[in-house]
Structure 1
């Protein structure tokens, strides 16, 4: 089953995602590629564990979904998302039996190490989401990245590395077969938590069932009689940096369109928060009393994050700069 980000709850639960098998072990695989690992690995258990797979390639997502369906693995959820936001926002604390990372991108060029997955912050997040006795399983052909990951695990203060042989299923992936054909080997480690830190979920929510719910970010304002939508130009705003989140959010207002359904306009906004990127629509709709409602639209199933709330604020601020009088801010 393929899930969009909007299909998840924040956090979610095995009981909701796997209603027929909620008590089975729960394993997450980061970067599942074409899905060759999981059928082999699931077969090593008396009953196939619940599986959550995350991948950023849409083509790989479709290939893996077909492979798992043909293998009869119905208690599997696949999604096209960056791993860190999914683990942080969707996975409850202390719920996973294992996080599997097979042949991750080593980002080998100088200066690219910050893009690597297996850094100390990830290990702390993983330790918070693993059950006692759980582990992060890494298999890689890249010696330098393997040594890097082991150092980062130790630097996290919550993980220790156990160097072992990889599970046979890890040697059935596309990259493992390529390396075997070349006569090259791989390295494997189990990163076992020594401590389970508290890493909270973010302030993330699903779009509510009713667009009129108070949780939908909105503002009410009065536009000037001389309001000119043609005065809009691409606009970028940044903010939200804190000690816990030094990156914050970036909002880019891209286009302003005339609404086809009602009197008003629609703003297209690009919202970036770390690894999570969303494109959202923000409506500017006329009301009966002559004011306008600025509100996040439901189109595309947006996830209400701090950056998405900020996007409504950025649109409101731009309208205010054009002479609008803001009466209420609800974001």
Structure 2
């Protein structure tokens, strides 16, 4: 499968597959975010997910995929540090603000920085039509955040710090998207990067949150572990999809298309978390989707 994927790089078929993978990652990333914002402590939810995907990835990394080339070890070290910063910022954000308020800001800040980073690092350039699409998408995302900020009444006193942290988290999203795209392109087999990344990345949060585990009721332990295992599978599919998309096609386009996750997040917030979605928010979500369509067809 690896050789087949590599053969599609830079082709029309590769572009179409990257589009599908980016949209799949969008839905799954929204689901992943909601899993961390449920009834459990976001720190423990993330730790349960990380521990699960680290353990699941271990046999694949050690016994299935080719071992990383020597030059990959510094790349893995850099990815580890960046993702630690991202997880700390994300957990602080989700523990302070309503999901439908902070999530759009995180996802809106990320693609703008990622597009700029892809231009500087990979020499990618957007057409004027694609920049228009980015503007439309971002107007919908930040409009949604502004609307939510005005109308959400839960934890009102913590919303401003939560929004500031959401911008920081968005910066980390752009950083890891660009850096990990570089990493998955630096190895011959893309699945080598993915397997080793998940095994290494699964270490930090379980260790960092060790003391918190002793404070949860015993009745919540099994549901939290189950949430972690579910989140691990979602993470494999979501992160794996967007990373493969960045290897097959342009990093900037994949980053922008993934941010249609805001639409899916609003739907999940409404259906699963019981957060209201009215006609104005629906219109703003339509802007997000329209911006993504413009980016794709103006390329």
What's the TM-score once normalised by structure 1's chain length? 0.22
| Higher gyration radius (CA) | 1
Determine which structure has the larger strand proportion and give its number.
1
- Larger RCO of the pair (alpha carbons < 8 Å, separation 6+): 2
- Which structure has more helix as a fraction of its residues? 2
